[in-house]
Every structure is written in C-alpha cells, then in structure tokens.
Structure 1
Amino acid sequence: MVIDFSFIIPCRNEEAFIEKCLQSIIQQEYPREKFEIIVVDNGSTDRSKEVARPYADKVVDALGVNVGEVRNIGASAAKGKLLAFIDADCTIDHQWLIRAKSLNNEDKKVVFGGGILLPNDATWVERHWLLEGPEGNCLPAELIGCSIVISEDQFTKAKGFDIRKKSGEDTDFSLRIREQQGTIKITRALNVTHLGNAKTIKSHIKRQAWHAQSYKVDIKSSIQDPVFILVIFQSAAIMAAIGSLAYQTPYLATLSISANLAIPAALTLKRYARSKCRDLRPKSLILAYALDCTYLIGRIIGLVGVART
C-alpha cells in the first residue's frame, strides 16, 4: 500500500493538547491506510507519549535535541510521498488532507503552508495578537512549522531543518527553499487551529524570550531580520532613556522616550496593515499596542539571556 502522507508531530509535554490534535487527524475524510502518523517525542515528562500511542503509527524518541532535529528525525522515519508537519498543540478540520492532496495535484513542485486560526475560547491576548481581517486570519510571510506540506524529495533537497536552532527553524527552512529557487505557497486551505497560543501577558513575554534565543545561533541571518533590528533599537532606546534620566539631560530623554513609544507602534501598524483588521476601536488599538510592547520586552529579555550564556 502506497502511503500518500506522513504526519510528523514534534511533541514535548503536550499532554493537554496532543489527543485533540491526533483525533483531528484520525477523523480526516481521507482513507486511513493512505496516511501515517509519527509522533516524535522530545523528552516529555508528562503523559504525552502514553496519550499518543493509541493514535500514532509510530512514537519515536528524540531526546536532548532542538526542534529542527526533532522534525528531521520524524522525516527520516516517514514512508509517505508527502510530509505533513503539524504541531502537537494544533488541530485540523476533517477535509484538511483532501485539500492538501488537491493542492499537490495542481503543482507537485510547490511547498505549501497554512496559517493559524484562533480557538473558540481565545483570550484577549490571542485575539489582539493574531489579528483577523475581513478575509479571515493573517497569513504568515514564510512557512510555519505547524502547517507545512512538502514532498520527501523537496525536503531532502533542502537538507531538512537547521538542527542548531532552538526556534525559528521554520522561517530558516522557508528562506533556504526560496534561495534554492523553490516555490512556496501559503494558503488558508491549510489553516490549523492553534490551541497552545500564549494566553496571558506573562506567557506572551516568556514565549518571545524563548524565540529570541535563536538570534545568536546565526548572527548573519539575524542582522537581516527587521524584527531583530527593532529589538536592538528598542534596547538602545531603553538604555538611552535610563542614561538621560540619570544624568538629567531633558533633550535626550525626550528623544529616547519618544523612540521607546514609536518602535512598538510601528509593529502595531504593520500588524494591522498585514491583517487588514478593521477593529480600530481605541481599546483594541491600545491592547494590540500593549502586546507589541511586551513582545519587544520578551525579545530583549531573551537576547540578554543568550548573551550571558
């Protein structure tokens, strides 16, 4: 029997979500014998593996490695013609595979990706971070690890994910495919519902600090990342504000405080423009702006933390 798809699901302490993820895959309106499910466990200390075993065709251990290598290990165990990367805290609707197969039939050379949908019980942090416009969710500019469909041949040609990166391995993977003249299409047809979004300010900051740990892995790529540049500018603006207040230099204090306010505002404007969000109520704008402020704070915390290691 030829297997069309291999679902590859990285997992680490996802007991709260993985059953819903796997149930959504099992319930696909697609012949069960035509796809396999591979859960790659990255050292879970909860019941994730126990929960996964009744649903998965394979549960593979990948201890002590970064998420890129976890995905690569899953790919090496796959038998499917197409690799479908889904995260353990995401679910898909019942016709997701049908659409994925249709997209691949239209052009077998294209690497496809989807975006993120809000869960029904989304908090204000989720709603104001993942802004939705009149056409629905805002699609990412590059592939995201929770929704990628790629042929085994294309994956091998791209040499898989960068095993050095603790985060951002999906963006790096996407950029390398483009550098090799590969074609990527991001479509709402492959949207996933993300259950594991940051739901509070504290978890939002913590997640951004974790993402920032990837900056030092590849400085050259980081310098080319506009967000990294903004993080550096924000860090400089904060230090300038502290220095100017300490040394009582009003002119410099005004400039540095203005910069501290303007940089997150630029991010908010960018997010609203990309999503085409029409919710311009003052309260919504303030909440979105507050999230961009905490986003930068988290990134700075992560960057400083890396610098100390």
Structure 2
Amino acid sequence: MTLRTKYLEPWIQARENLERRDWLSKDKEKEETQTLIDKVYNALGSISWSANIRGFSNTERTVTLATYCTDEWLSDIQENQMLDLLQRRLQHEPGGQQIKVESVYFYILLKRGYDARHFTCIWETRHALSSGLGPSCIGFLVNVNRNHWVAVIVNFNSRSILYGDSLNQEPPNDMLAILHWWMHHHTGHRFTTRSLEITYQKDAFSCGLLSFNALAHHFLPMEYPLIAVSNVRNGRLKILLDIIDQHLDQAGVRHLQGRTLLTSLFDRASSPSVKNISSPSLNPKPLLTLCDQKVLYLPKARLG
C-alpha cells in the first residue's frame, strides 16, 4: 500500500465530503452545519496527518479520524474511541463509578467463554460480580453478522438486559443465550430482556453512531440526547471534535508549530468552490497536488 493510498486519500475524501455537505445543506440546517464544519476544519488543522492518537485505550493513527467526515461504516476503531469517551465522561458524574463501559471486544470474549464453557477470558469481571464489588451496569456494543452494530446494557440492580437495534430488530437468540448464561452463572438470577431507547436509521451507515448514542443517552440523557435521524452526519462530526479535543489535551499541545498537511488541506481560504468539485478538471488533481507539495515539509518521522 502506497503512502498516498494509506494516509493521504482518506483525508482528501474527507475534505471533499465536507465541501459537498457545506454546499448541499438545507436552509433550515445550513447555519448549524456550516458552523460545525468550520469547527472541524479548525480542529483538523491543528493535528498531524499520521501521528498516533493520544488519550485512548487503543493506539490508532490520526488518519482513522477521516472516517467521521464521511458516510463510511464505522469500524471497531471508531466504536472503541467513542466508548472510551463515554467511560471517561462517566467518571466525572455522581454514581458514574458504578457504570462500566466495555470495548467492542467484550462480547467476543463472552462468546468464547460460552463456546468453550470456561471463564478465563472474563475472569476479572466475573470476580468483581461474585465479590459484590463490581459495577451496577455494564454497557457495550456488539457487532451482529459482521455488518451491524447494536447496543447492550446489563443492569444488575434491576436484573435486566436492555437491547437497542437501530433497525428495530429483536435480539438474536444466540446472543440472548450467551448473555443469560453468563448472568445466571455469575449472579444466580434470571434476567429479563427489555428494549433500549434508540433512534431508528434510514440509511446503510448510521448503526455505529446510533448504537453508541443509545448507550450514552441511557447513562447521560442530558448530555447525549437521542440523535434525530436527519442529524446523523452532524453527530459524527461532533464526536470527531470530542476525540480531537481529548487527543490534544493528552498530547499537551493545542497548536503544532509550522504548517502540517492538514493545516493546508483543511483551510477554508484555500478550499476550492464546491460547485466545481465534480468537474474532471478539478477533481482530484488539485488536492493530490496540494498533498504532494505539503508532504515535503513534514518531518521524516511522520512518514511511518
């Protein structure tokens, strides 16, 4: 995979998508969208194009942030970033210490334990539950059929399992079997299954955002209202801003010295008119040329 394909093209796609949204946004939402896109431009101009993202459980490159600016399906990378943000936010809330937000790999470990009928992979959570020192709620996301995200919350106080699916589908029987097996084995009680409030999607890419939003809304309803189905793209950009803010805080720097590739690529003043984006003469050569020119000014350490 070439340097351009791996690092530059995702950012180019992100910029083009933002420009189209800026131009095509409807009058009633145009001001909000344009203000949000301006914030995204400013934020992206302050980070390096291929550095490690700081302040999150998993180490990922900043290029993975470009996905939030597009309609691409959110992978485990983006889902875990959002879950990390929620867990950190809960730590500052009264009672937040009793809520545990797990990564997207939690259910995978549960399934392995169920399939093998052993518990080594989930020993830490099991021990906490049996000792009575564990959380009152566990929230996590599950990937169904490798193409769809759903939200699950296990509430130990009410002995209930909450399930949220943005396609308005019932939980798969095999998933319920695993969850009920795990809960009964470690608590000795049967748990009921209830619906988790969630926005229903009308597209093919919003399940990742809406499942996370349902999880966050359940725990922090004032801070995370349910996203309107017409506002999912703006919702992705708001998450992006939160991630960049966390990264800059942990990196201990708010402004990079010198101009990075993203400073130039996400510069309103140099942005070509969106009206001409579809023109063969302007797409994509000017942006690729811009990238080629700016790569020369990046430190060699950034090229890895």
TM-score range, shorter chain: under 0.3
Higher helix residue share: 2
Higher strand residue share: 1
With CA pairs under 8 Å and 6+ residues apart, which has the higher RCO, 1 or 2?
2
**TM-score of the superposition, structure 2-length normalised?**
0.24
